[in-house]
Amino acid sequence: MLNDRQSLILCGILAVGIFVSGILDLLDNYIVKTALTIIFLVILTNVYVVYSKRKKEEQNNLK
C-alpha cells in the first residue's frame, strides 16, 4: 500500500498535528479530530496490510 517513506511522513504529520492542535487548543474541533483519526486509521491499515503480506510470503516460502 504505502512505502516506508510515505509511512514515515504520515507518522510525522500525525505527531505534528497532535502537537500543534494541542498547543492551539484545537483538539475539541470535530474537523481536526476527524483529520487526525483518518490519518491514524490509514497508518494502522497500512501496518495490517504489510504484516499480512509478509506473513503470506513467509508461508509460501516455507512450502
Tens of pLDDT, residue by residue over 4-59, are 899 999 999 999 999 999 999 999 999 999 999 999 999 999 999 999 988 888 88
Q: What's residue 48's pLDDT?
A: 94
pLDDT at 56: 86
Residue 63 has pLDDT above 70, yes or no: no
Per-residue confidence (pLDDT) for residue 26, from 0 to 100: 94
| Residue 58 grid cell | 513467509
Q: What sign does the CA torsion over 48, 54, 60, 63 have?
A: negative
Evaluated on CA atoms 47, 39, 28, 23, the torsion sign reads positive
Q: Based on the structure, what is the number of domains in the chain?
A: 1
- Give the residue numbers spanning the domain of 22: 4-62
pLDDT of residue 8: 94
